């Protein structure tokens, strides 16, 4: 039996495979233009396949996009939460992985603990997909790179600037910078710096990743400004709002970026906190294209995991 193809973190997938998935996501999106949302894609490449989507906390974009991705690819989705499973009553992750491997073709897990994904992948005989963890959010980054390239062309050698908390999204942006060869600047308070393991990986890879405590310095001439909520899952709000107030993306900060820069946010957002409504609803914002592209990028991830790209 061959080893399953997991999608757990961007730095664990080859550059060529990531590029293949981005190109596939763009192609399947173009091929669907004008189709009713409920109709299947031409080819129905995942017909007969079922995804178990497990959610340990609420979700809008991840849940709907994975479900619709499977439907449009001709497959099926079984949406589960730990409270409905024996997993929530003490059954081990290892046993759960082996049991579900007998029933479905792939598992997507959205969890608060990245170690659960690792244990699931170590014991499953089918692909495991990281739908989000406290460490990273690789599916979101695939949609973000796809969105950037739709609006700005190839992301290679471009500049993306982050302003806000050095959270799990930053980790995946760091991985993306190394894998897609763009410059990534991170502006954040010294108390909320990114995961050191990700920064060490970037240094080892020779990636262009820089950390500063000045939002203006990071934004200067950037092709894209991006942020996320100030209080992520499991975080204690504490003094975060005071620490992060200087990192809000407003119209003044957008003016520091390139004149044709775009604004990204993975959503959900707290308007007037991490970004102002004027920026989120302004002409440089691509946040809803970004949200839509979760659907198309995840189709490519699913097809890659199941060996169906090109079919």
How would you label 261-296 residue by residue, b for 16+ Cβ within 10 Å and e otherwise?
A: bbbbbbbebeeebbbbeebbeeebbbbebbbbbbbb
Q: What distance in Å separates the CA atoms of residue 276 and residue 259, rounded to the nearest whole number?
A: 18
Contact between residue 21 and residue 310 where contact means Cβ atoms under 8 Å apart: no
Contact between residue 306 and residue 299 where contact means Cβ atoms under 8 Å apart: no
Beta bridge mates, 285: 263
Contact between residue 207 and residue 177 where contact means Cβ atoms under 8 Å apart: yes
Q: What distance in Å separates the CA atoms of residue 110 and residue 28, rounded to the nearest whole number?
A: 24
Q: If you search the block for the tokens 């894209």, which residue do you land on?
A: 224
By annotation, the residues acting in catalysis are: 110, 137, 140, 228, 266, 294
Beta bridge mates, 110: 55, 132
Q: What distance in Å separates the CA atoms of residue 212 and residue 189, rounded to the nearest whole number?
A: 8
Residues 6+ apart with CB under 8 A from 7: 13, 127, 128, 129, 130, 138, 139, 301, 304, 305
Q: What distance in Å separates the CA atoms of residue 246 and residue 217, rounded to the nearest whole number?
A: 12
SS3 content of the chain, % helix, strand, coil (to 5): 45, 15, 40
């Amino acid at each position: 039996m061959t080893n399953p193809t997991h999608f757990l973190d961007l730095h664990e997938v080859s550059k060529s495979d990531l590029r293949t998935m981005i190109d596939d996501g763009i192609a399947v999106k173009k091929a669907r233009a004008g189709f009713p949302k409920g109709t299947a894609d031409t080819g129905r490449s995942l017909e007969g396949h079922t995804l178990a989507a497990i959610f340990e906390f609420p979700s809008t974009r991840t849940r709907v996009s994975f479900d619709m991705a499977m439907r449009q690819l001709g497959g099926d989705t079984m949406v589960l939460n730990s409270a409905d499973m024996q997993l929530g009553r003490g059954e081990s992750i290892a046993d759960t992985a082996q049991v579900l491997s007998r029933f479905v073709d792939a598992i997507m897990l959205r969890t608060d603990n990245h170690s659960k994904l690792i244990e699931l992948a170590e014991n499953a005989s089918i692909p495991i997909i990281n739908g989000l963890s406290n460490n990273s959010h690789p599916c979101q980054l695939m949609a973000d790179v796809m969105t950037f390239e739709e609006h700005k062309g190839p992301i290679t050698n471009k500049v993306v600037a982050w302003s806000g908390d050095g959270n799990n999204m930053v980790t995946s942006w760091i991985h993306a910078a190394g894998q897609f060869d763009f410059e990534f600047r991170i502006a954040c308070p010294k108390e909320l710096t990114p995961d050191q393991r990700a920064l060490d990986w970037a240094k080892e890879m020779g990636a262009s990743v820089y950390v500063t405590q000045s939002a203006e310095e990071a934004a200067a001439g950037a092709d894209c400004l991006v942020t996320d909520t100030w209080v992520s899952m499991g975080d204690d709000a504490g003094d975060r709002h005071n620490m992060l107030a200087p990192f809000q993306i407003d119209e003044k900060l957008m003016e520091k970026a390139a004149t044709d820069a775009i604004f990204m946010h993975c959503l959900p957002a707290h308007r007037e906190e991490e970004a102002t409504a004027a920026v989120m609803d302004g002409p440089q914002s691509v946040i809803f294209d970004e949200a839509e592209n979760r659907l198309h990028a995840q189709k490519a991830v699913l097809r890659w995991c199941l060996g169906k790209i090109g079919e």
